[in-house]
Chains A and B, each alone.
Chain A
Amino acid sequence: DGGITQSPKYLFRKEGQNVTLSCEQNLNHDAMYWYRQDPGQGLRLIYYSQIVNDFQKGDIAEGYSVSREKKESFPLTVTSAQKNPTAFYLCASSITAGTNEKLFFGSGTQLSVL
Protein backbone atom coordinates (compact mmCIF):
# COMPACT_ATOMS: atom_id res chain seq x y z
CA ASP A 1 0.00 0.00 0.00
CA GLY A 2 1.19 3.50 -0.78
CA GLY A 3 1.48 6.00 2.00
CA ILE A 4 3.60 7.98 4.39
CA THR A 5 5.50 6.28 7.17
CA GLN A 6 6.69 8.19 10.20
CA SER A 7 8.98 6.68 12.80
CA PRO A 8 9.29 6.31 15.65
CA LYS A 9 5.75 6.70 16.97
CA TYR A 10 7.08 7.93 20.33
CA LEU A 11 10.43 9.64 20.96
CA PHE A 12 12.06 11.02 24.06
CA ARG A 13 14.73 13.69 24.06
CA LYS A 14 17.23 14.48 26.76
CA GLU A 15 18.50 17.98 27.45
CA GLY A 16 21.06 19.13 24.88
CA GLN A 17 20.35 16.24 22.55
CA ASN A 18 19.49 16.36 18.87
CA VAL A 19 16.89 13.88 17.67
CA THR A 20 15.78 12.97 14.16
CA LEU A 21 12.27 12.09 13.09
CA SER A 22 11.93 9.94 10.02
CA CYS A 23 9.42 10.46 7.21
CA GLU A 24 9.28 8.21 4.16
CA GLN A 25 6.72 8.21 1.34
CA ASN A 26 6.20 5.78 -1.53
CA LEU A 27 3.58 7.89 -3.30
CA ASN A 28 6.07 9.45 -5.72
CA HIS A 29 5.03 12.88 -4.48
CA ASP A 30 7.20 15.90 -5.24
CA ALA A 31 6.30 18.00 -2.19
CA MET A 32 6.78 17.14 1.47
CA TYR A 33 6.00 19.06 4.65
CA TRP A 34 6.62 18.99 8.38
CA TYR A 35 4.01 20.32 10.78
CA ARG A 36 4.03 20.70 14.53
CA GLN A 37 0.76 20.18 16.40
CA ASP A 38 0.22 21.54 19.90
CA PRO A 39 -3.06 21.22 21.80
CA GLY A 40 -5.41 24.06 20.93
CA GLN A 41 -3.06 25.55 18.34
CA GLY A 42 -3.77 23.55 15.23
CA LEU A 43 -0.94 22.75 12.84
CA ARG A 44 2.02 25.03 12.23
CA LEU A 45 4.42 24.62 9.33
CA ILE A 46 8.06 23.96 10.20
CA TYR A 47 9.64 23.24 6.80
CA TYR A 48 8.52 22.22 3.36
CA SER A 49 10.21 20.90 0.25
CA GLN A 50 8.90 21.27 -3.27
CA ILE A 51 11.51 19.09 -4.88
CA VAL A 52 14.59 17.04 -4.10
CA ASN A 53 17.55 19.03 -2.77
CA ASP A 54 15.38 22.05 -2.06
CA PHE A 55 13.51 23.10 1.08
CA GLN A 56 12.04 26.26 2.56
CA LYS A 57 11.44 27.48 6.10
CA GLY A 58 7.92 27.63 7.39
CA ASP A 59 6.55 29.75 10.20
CA ILE A 60 8.40 28.05 13.07
CA ALA A 61 11.69 26.76 11.62
CA GLU A 62 13.95 27.95 14.44
CA GLY A 63 15.53 25.02 16.27
CA TYR A 64 14.77 22.55 13.46
CA SER A 65 16.64 21.35 10.39
CA VAL A 66 15.73 19.15 7.43
CA SER A 67 17.25 17.53 4.37
CA ARG A 68 15.76 16.26 1.12
CA GLU A 69 18.43 14.12 -0.53
CA LYS A 70 15.94 11.60 -1.89
CA LYS A 71 12.45 12.15 -3.24
CA GLU A 72 10.92 9.67 -0.83
CA SER A 73 12.60 10.88 2.36
CA PHE A 74 12.32 14.11 4.37
CA PRO A 75 13.83 13.69 7.85
CA LEU A 76 13.40 16.36 10.52
CA THR A 77 16.05 17.02 13.15
CA VAL A 78 14.99 18.70 16.36
CA THR A 79 18.11 20.39 17.65
CA SER A 80 19.05 21.39 21.19
CA ALA A 81 18.26 24.98 20.18
CA GLN A 82 14.55 24.10 20.20
CA LYS A 83 13.71 24.84 23.82
CA ASN A 84 10.15 23.56 23.79
CA PRO A 85 10.15 20.50 21.55
CA THR A 86 7.35 18.55 23.20
CA ALA A 87 4.64 18.23 20.54
CA PHE A 88 3.05 15.92 18.00
CA TYR A 89 4.93 16.09 14.69
CA LEU A 90 3.20 15.36 11.42
CA CYS A 91 4.78 14.76 8.05
CA ALA A 92 2.73 15.28 4.90
CA SER A 93 3.17 15.09 1.16
CA SER A 94 1.36 16.22 -1.97
CA ILE A 95 1.62 15.30 -5.63
CA THR A 96 3.00 18.71 -6.49
CA ALA A 97 3.61 21.88 -4.52
CA GLY A 98 0.40 23.44 -5.79
CA THR A 99 -1.77 25.01 -3.15
CA ASN A 100 -4.91 23.29 -4.39
CA GLU A 101 -3.41 19.89 -3.72
CA LYS A 102 -4.60 17.39 -1.17
CA LEU A 103 -2.15 16.72 1.64
CA PHE A 104 -1.47 13.12 2.63
CA PHE A 105 -0.40 12.75 6.25
CA GLY A 106 1.61 10.22 8.18
CA SER A 107 0.41 8.95 11.55
CA GLY A 108 2.72 11.25 13.50
CA THR A 109 5.53 11.15 16.05
CA GLN A 110 4.97 12.24 19.64
CA LEU A 111 8.14 13.86 20.96
CA SER A 112 8.60 14.38 24.68
CA VAL A 113 11.42 15.80 26.77
CA LEU A 114 12.87 13.71 29.59
Chain B
Amino acid sequence: AQSVTQLGSHVSVSEGALVLLRCNYSSSVPPYLFWYVQYPNQGLQLLLKYTSAATLVKGINGFEAEFKKSETSFHLTKPSAHMSDAAEYFCAVSDRGTGNQFYFGTGTSLTVIP
Protein backbone atom coordinates (compact mmCIF):
# COMPACT_ATOMS: atom_id res chain seq x y z
CA ALA B 1 0.00 0.00 0.00
CA GLN B 2 1.01 3.55 -0.59
CA SER B 3 2.06 5.77 2.26
CA VAL B 4 2.82 9.45 2.54
CA THR B 5 4.85 11.24 5.16
CA GLN B 6 4.52 14.89 6.04
CA LEU B 7 7.49 16.09 8.07
CA GLY B 8 6.54 18.67 10.67
CA SER B 9 3.04 18.62 12.09
CA HIS B 10 3.31 22.34 12.85
CA VAL B 11 5.09 25.00 10.82
CA SER B 12 5.27 28.70 11.69
CA VAL B 13 6.39 31.40 9.30
CA SER B 14 6.34 35.17 9.38
CA GLU B 15 4.06 37.03 7.03
CA GLY B 16 5.92 37.56 3.78
CA ALA B 17 8.35 34.70 4.37
CA LEU B 18 8.76 31.55 2.30
CA VAL B 19 6.39 28.69 3.04
CA LEU B 20 7.81 25.16 2.67
CA LEU B 21 5.70 22.15 3.60
CA ARG B 22 7.28 18.75 3.09
CA CYS B 23 5.77 15.58 1.65
CA ASN B 24 7.44 12.27 0.81
CA TYR B 25 5.77 9.19 -0.67
CA SER B 26 6.73 5.53 -0.54
CA SER B 27 5.96 4.08 -3.96
CA SER B 28 8.65 2.96 -6.41
CA VAL B 29 6.27 3.82 -9.24
CA PRO B 30 5.48 7.52 -9.35
CA PRO B 31 1.95 7.96 -8.07
CA TYR B 32 -0.54 10.73 -8.55
CA LEU B 33 0.14 13.43 -5.94
CA PHE B 34 -2.11 16.07 -4.44
CA TRP B 35 -2.04 18.90 -1.93
CA TYR B 36 -5.24 19.88 -0.16
CA VAL B 37 -5.93 22.71 2.28
CA GLN B 38 -8.40 22.63 5.17
CA TYR B 39 -9.65 25.70 7.01
CA PRO B 40 -11.08 25.25 10.53
CA ASN B 41 -14.27 23.19 10.70
CA GLN B 42 -14.44 22.84 6.94
CA GLY B 43 -13.81 20.21 4.33
CA LEU B 44 -10.68 20.01 2.21
CA GLN B 45 -10.16 21.80 -1.07
CA LEU B 46 -7.62 20.99 -3.75
CA LEU B 47 -4.59 23.27 -4.06
CA LEU B 48 -2.84 21.40 -6.85
CA LYS B 49 -2.17 17.95 -8.28
CA TYR B 50 0.54 16.14 -10.18
CA THR B 51 -0.54 13.45 -12.61
CA SER B 52 2.23 13.52 -15.21
CA ALA B 53 3.82 15.98 -17.61
CA ALA B 54 5.49 18.96 -15.94
CA THR B 55 7.20 18.26 -12.63
CA LEU B 56 6.58 21.79 -11.35
CA VAL B 57 2.90 22.20 -10.67
CA LYS B 58 1.26 25.54 -10.02
CA GLY B 59 -1.87 25.72 -7.94
CA ILE B 60 -4.27 28.21 -6.49
CA ASN B 61 -3.43 31.06 -4.11
CA GLY B 62 0.20 31.25 -5.31
CA PHE B 63 1.19 27.77 -4.18
CA GLU B 64 3.31 25.41 -6.22
CA ALA B 65 4.91 22.01 -5.75
CA GLU B 66 7.73 20.17 -7.45
CA PHE B 67 7.70 16.44 -8.09
CA LYS B 68 11.18 14.96 -7.54
CA LYS B 69 11.31 11.28 -8.40
CA SER B 70 14.85 10.79 -7.14
CA GLU B 71 13.83 12.09 -3.72
CA THR B 72 10.27 10.65 -3.76
CA SER B 73 9.12 14.09 -2.71
CA PHE B 74 6.39 16.58 -3.54
CA HIS B 75 7.04 19.59 -1.32
CA LEU B 76 4.65 22.54 -1.32
CA THR B 77 5.98 26.08 -1.48
CA LYS B 78 4.80 29.66 -1.61
CA PRO B 79 7.25 32.54 -1.95
CA SER B 80 5.48 34.93 0.40
CA ALA B 81 3.13 33.87 3.19
CA HIS B 82 -0.11 35.70 3.78
CA MET B 83 -2.20 35.66 6.94
CA SER B 84 -4.98 33.93 5.03
CA ASP B 85 -2.67 30.96 4.38
CA ALA B 86 -3.03 29.81 8.00
CA ALA B 87 -4.69 26.40 7.72
CA GLU B 88 -4.06 22.65 7.77
CA TYR B 89 -2.37 21.22 4.69
CA PHE B 90 -2.61 17.61 3.58
CA CYS B 91 -0.52 15.76 1.05
CA ALA B 92 -2.23 12.80 -0.64
CA VAL B 93 -1.16 10.09 -3.05
CA SER B 94 -2.94 7.53 -5.18
CA ASP B 95 -1.83 4.65 -7.35
CA ARG B 96 -1.75 4.92 -11.13
CA GLY B 97 -3.00 1.37 -11.43
CA THR B 98 -6.01 -0.35 -10.04
CA GLY B 99 -7.71 0.56 -6.82
CA ASN B 100 -9.50 3.65 -5.76
CA GLN B 101 -7.67 4.67 -2.66
CA PHE B 102 -6.30 8.08 -1.87
CA TYR B 103 -3.77 7.96 0.97
CA PHE B 104 -3.51 11.10 3.07
CA GLY B 105 -0.65 12.31 5.19
CA THR B 106 -1.19 13.33 8.79
CA GLY B 107 -1.28 17.00 7.91
CA THR B 108 0.79 20.10 8.63
CA SER B 109 -0.71 23.02 10.49
CA LEU B 110 0.61 26.31 9.14
CA THR B 111 0.69 29.37 11.39
CA VAL B 112 1.48 32.77 9.90
CA ILE B 113 2.93 35.29 12.32
CA PRO B 114 2.14 38.95 11.61
Interface size class for chain A? 20 to 34
In the complex, what residues of B have CB within 8 A of residue A50's CB? 100
Q: Is the CB of A90 within 8 A of B43?
A: yes
Q: Which of B16-65 contact A (CB under 8 A)?
A: 32, 34, 36, 41-46, 49, 51
In the complex, what residues of A have CB within 8 A of residue B102's CB? 33, 45, 99, 103
Q: Is the CB of B107 within 8 A of A42?
A: yes
Other-chain contact of A107, B9, B42, B49, B90 (Cβ < 8 Å):
B42
Closest 9 CB pairs of A and B: A105-B43, A99-B94, A43-B104, A42-B106, A42-B104, A100-B51, A105-B44, A100-B32, A102-B46
Considering the chains assembled together, what is the distance between the CA atoms of A107 and B96 in angstroms?
28
- Contacts A42-B90, A99-B94 given; does A108 touch B42 at CB 8 Å: yes
Interface size class for chain B? 20 to 34
Considering the chains assembled together, what is the distance between the CA atoms of A99 and B100 in angstroms?
6
Among the interface residues B9, B32, B44, B95, which one has the most CB atoms of the partner chain A within 10 A? B44
In the complex, what residues of B have CB within 8 A of residue A31's CB? 100
Interface string of B94-114 (1 = CB under 8 A from A): 111001111011110000000
Q: Is the CB of A100 within 8 A of B107?
A: no
* Shortest CB distance A19–B (Å): 19
Is A56 an interface residue, CB under 8 A from the partner? yes
* Shortest CB distance B59–A (Å): 11
* Shortest CB distance A49–B (Å): 9
Considering the chains assembled together, what is the distance between the CA atoms of A60 and B90 in angstroms?
19
Other-chain contact of A99, B9, B46, B101 (Cβ < 8 Å):
B101
